[in-house]
Chains A and B, each alone.
Chain A
Amino acid sequence: MTDHELDQRLRQSVLSEEVDASRIESVVRNHIQGNRWRAFLWAAAALIVVAAGLSYRVFYTDPLPAICAAAQQDHQREIVNGAPRRWLTEDSAIRSLAETQGISAQAVAALSSTGYRLERARLCFLEKQVFLHLVYARDGSEYSVFLHSPDKSEDRGNSPRGGAKVAYLQTPRVTAVFVSRERGAITFARAGANVL
């Protein structure tokens, strides 16, 4: 028997066997489809979580209080445009003025310890409330800080919120709005959060 004859007989013998692969094909197909469904469900769940997170950030981020807009307008009018007003410039007078508004004189001094120099102060109205308007200077820029003795019910911790030009901060002792013409309001607010 030659190699060729042997190969032919062997091939014929093995290939003559009946092979039913349908059961295997069915099992494999079901497994693959099941995995595809699982992958699809995982992807959908991940998408929902991401969408929910984004929606929360977009729609439920705590907005800055209206007082911030009023503070920005006041800063524009009083500091940027330089409206003629009577300001207190002596430290002792400013501290006394703060005390009359229920604001600790130490808070005023503490803000000065963050690298900003207290220049002047006066009282002003923002949203029908009296605020102590302090003007600080640093690197040739002027910053307004509006302080108010807060309502106890509004205590939200002392993490500053806001952006480059206006930032809001509330501690158990004081409500503060930081305003700058260019940038730096939030930086000042963060420094203030550590000392107020």
Chain B
Amino acid sequence: MPHVAGLLRVARRLTLDPAAAEDLVQETMLLAWRGFRGFERGTNARAWLFRILFNVFHGRARRARYSPEAGAGIIRPMLQEAAEIAQALDALSTEQRAVLLVCVVEGFSCREAAGILDLPIGTVMSRLARAREHLKKMLEPMAKAAYK
């Protein structure tokens, strides 16, 4: 089943809760299956799936309000540097985190990300720039230590 791993990876970073992430991806896949007639052949299936994922995520967030702090600390990479980057990423706002995950981690263009996140492309670009700045600030101590 293609793209599920990528969806799950992004879902875990979005929700910061492995169980909630699995639920989110599961619902995404089922919605995609039910709504497959709505998929336009020849368009990007991966982007379509991510769009569904974010729709479900925002719908759930509106209903239940995900609390990133609640699950923080559960998902951790093994390496020290990776752990610190992940910690910095988790500390960003959900909006900035989403834009980084879609554009940087999953490699979608800003135009594609705008479609996935249902945002104007200008908003995507500005959020991306702000997210990078925040992340850099948080990772500065680590960078300094690396150059010592």
Residues of chain A touching chain B, judged by Cβ–Cβ distance below 8 Å, are 1, 3, 6-7, 9-17, 19, 21, 23-25, 27-29, 31-32
Q: How far, in angstroms, from A89 to B105 measured CA to CA in the complex?
A: 103
Contact indicator A13/B5 (Cβ below 8 Å)? no
Contact indicator B13/A14 (Cβ below 8 Å)? yes
Question: Given the known A-B contacts A1-B143, A13-B85, A14-B13, are A19 and B8 also in contact in the complex, defined by CB atoms under 8 Å?
Answer: yes
B26 in contact (CB, < 8 A): yes
- In the complex, which of the residues A3, A10, A25, A29 has the most CB atoms of chain B within 10 Å of its own CB atom? A10
Task: Point out the residues of chain B lying under 8 angstroms from A17, CB to CB.
Answer: 9, 12, 75, 77, 86
Question: Given the known A-B contacts A1-B139, A3-B132, are A10 and B5 also in contact in the complex, defined by CB atoms under 8 Å?
Answer: no
Residues of chain B touching chain A, judged by Cβ–Cβ distance below 8 Å, are 1, 4-5, 7-9, 12-13, 22, 25-26, 29-30, 33, 75, 77-79, 81-83, 85-86, 89, 100-101, 104-105, 132, 135-136, 139, 143
Contact indicator B82/A12 (Cβ below 8 Å)? yes
Question: Given the known A-B contacts A6-B139, A14-B105, A15-B9, are A21 and B89 also in contact in the complex, defined by CB atoms under 8 Å?
Answer: no
Contact indicator B78/A16 (Cβ below 8 Å)? yes
Question: Given the known A-B contacts A11-B104, A16-B77, are A1 and B30 also in contact in the complex, defined by CB atoms under 8 Å?
Answer: no
Pick from B9, B30, B81, B135: contact of A14, CB under 8 Å: B9
Task: Point out the residues of chain A lying under 8 angstroms from B33, CB to CB.
Answer: 28, 31-32
Contact indicator A1/B136 (Cβ below 8 Å)? yes
Q: How far, in angstroms, from A12 to B105 measured CA to CA in the complex?
A: 8
Q: How far, in angstroms, from A195 to B39 measured CA to CA in the complex?
A: 63
Q: Please list 28 pairs of residues, one from A and one from B, whose beta carbons are closer than 8 Å in the complex, sorted by A's number.
A: A1-B143, A7-B132, A9-B81, A10-B105, A10-B135, A11-B104, A12-B82, A13-B77, A13-B82, A13-B83, A13-B85, A13-B89, A14-B13, A14-B77, A14-B89, A14-B101, A15-B105, A17-B77, A19-B5, A19-B8, A19-B9, A19-B12, A23-B22, A24-B29, A28-B1, A28-B33, A29-B1, A32-B33
CB distance from A18 to the nearest CB of B (A): 8
Task: Point out the residues of chain B lying under 8 angstroms from A24, CB to CB.
Answer: 4, 8, 22, 25-26, 29
18 additional A-B residue pairs with CB within 8 Å, beyond A1-B136, A1-B143: A6-B135, A10-B105, A10-B135, A11-B105, A12-B82, A13-B79, A13-B81, A13-B89, A14-B105, A17-B77, A21-B1, A23-B22, A24-B22, A24-B29, A27-B26, A28-B4, A28-B29, A28-B30
